[in-house]
Amino acid sequence: MKKPNIALTIAGTDPTGGAGIMADLKSFHASGVYGMAVATSIVSQNSLGVQDVYHLPIEVLESQLNSVFEDESPQAIKTGMIASEEMMKMIKPYILQSNVPYVIDPVMVAKSGDALMDDEGKQKLIETLLPIATVVTPNIPEAEDITGFNIETVDDINRAGAFFINEVGSEGVVIKGGHLEGDAIDYLFTNKGVTTWNSERFDTKHTHGTGCTFSAVITAELAKGHTIEEAVNTAKRFISLAIQHTPEIGKGRGPVNHFAYQKIEGLDYE
Ligand SMILES: Nc1ncnc2c1ncn2[C@@H]1O[C@H](COP(=O)(O)OP(=O)(O)OP(=O)(O)O)[C@@H](O)[C@H]1O
Ligand SMILES: Cc1ncc(CO)c(N)n1
C-alpha cells in the first residue's frame, strides 16, 4: 500500500464533532489524506452554541507539537482557533521549519456568535502568522476585523484581497461569501489575480463548522501537491455537497456532511 500524504491541524476542539480538529480530521480522511491533530483549546460546544472554553497551557501545546514533529512531518499544515499571542509564537517556528504549505483559518467567532479569540489575538495574528500563510480563509466578518474596514460590495472584497496580499504578505487569501446575501461566492486572491467560485446558497441552518471543513480540504489538497487554485476548487465542491446533504444532527445549527463528497464522487482511496 502506498504511504499516504499527511496533513496536520492545530486548532480548538468540538466534542460534538462538527467543527475544530474533529471536523478537520474527518475532512482530511474524506480527502484521502492521513490526518494529525494538535489541540490548542478545549471548547465545550454543540449545535446550540459555545458553553465553555478552556485554553490549554502553553507547555501542553509545545509537548504535542514535539510529539508530532520528532516523528513524522506533515506535507501541509492548517491552523484554526489560536487564542493567544503566546500560542502563535510557539507554533510559528514549527511551521517555518517544516517548510510546507500552510493554511490559516483565522477563527474569531463561532457561527453561534460566541467569541473564540480576543481583540489582542486578532492583531497578533496579523503580525505573527498571516505573513507566512500560503492561504488564509477569512469569512467576511473576519476579513473586516483584519483589514479594519467594512466589506459590503465586490469593490470592498477586492480591496480586502489586495490588503492581504500586499500589506499583510500572505501568498493567497480566499474571502468567503457565506455571510452575504445571494449565491455563496468565494474570491481567491494571489499575485496572479482573482478567481471566483459561485455556488447556489442552500437553504439550511446546518452550517456549523463550514469554515473548518473548507480550509481543511484546501490543506489536504495542498498536502497532495495540488496548486492553490486546484485546492480551492476541490474544497468548494466538497463544502457545497457537505452543506447540501447535511446529516440533521443536533437541536440547533448542526454539522455538515463530511462524507458527501467522497460518496457522490465515488472516490475510493488506497
Ligand atoms: N448556505 C450555504 N450554501 C452554500 N454554500 C455555503 C453556505 N454557507 C456557506 N457556504 C460556503 O461554505 C464555505 C464556508 O464559508 P462560511 O462563510 O460559512 O465560513 P465560516 O463562517 O468561516 O464558517 P464557520 O465559522 O462556521 O466554521 C464557503 O465556501 C461558503 O461560500
Ligand atoms: C474549535 C472551533 N474552531 C472553529 C469554529 C468555527 O466554526 C468553532 N465553532 N470551533
Distance between CA 206 and CA 254 in Å, rounded? 4
Q: Residue 53: CB within 6 Å of ligand 2?
A: no
Distance between CA 219 and CA 13 in Å, rounded? 18
What average pLDDT does this structure show over 191-204?
95
- 266: CA distance to ligand 1 center in Å? 24
User: What confidence tens digit (pLDDT) does each residue in 226-243 have?
Assistant: 999 999 999 999 999 999
Here the ipTM equals 0.97
Respond yes or no: is residue 80 known to be catalytic. Answer: no
CA atoms within 13 A on the CB side of 61: 26
Residue whose CA is closest, atom 3 of ligand 2?
20
Respond yes or no: is residue 211 known to be catalytic. Answer: yes
For residue 177, what pLDDT band results from cuts at 50, 70 and 90?
confident
Look up the CATH architecture of domain 6-260: 3-Layer(aba) Sandwich (3.40)
E strand intervals along 24-113: 34-39, 41-46, 49-55, 76-79, 102-104
Residue 205 has pLDDT above 90, yes or no: yes
Residue 121 has pLDDT above 90, yes or no: no
More confident residue, 109 or 52: 52
E strand intervals along the chain: 6-11, 34-39, 41-46, 49-55, 76-79, 102-104, 135-136, 173-176, 184-190, 193-199
Pocket of ligand 1 (CB under 6 A): 19, 111, 139, 176-179, 184, 186, 199, 201-202, 207-212, 214, 236, 239-240, 243
**What percent of the chain lies above the pLDDT cut of 90?**
89
In Å, what is the CA distance from 27 to each residue of 5, 177, 207?
14, 21, 15
User: What confidence tens digit (pLDDT) does each residue in 247-269 have?
Assistant: 999 999 999 999 999 999 988 87
What average pLDDT does this structure show over 191-214?
95
Q: Which residues pair with 199 in a beta bridge?
A: 184
Respond yes or no: is residue 212 known to be catalytic. Answer: yes
- pLDDT of 109 reads 81
The answer to pTM > 0.80 is: yes
Report residue 47 as a C-alpha cell: 449545535
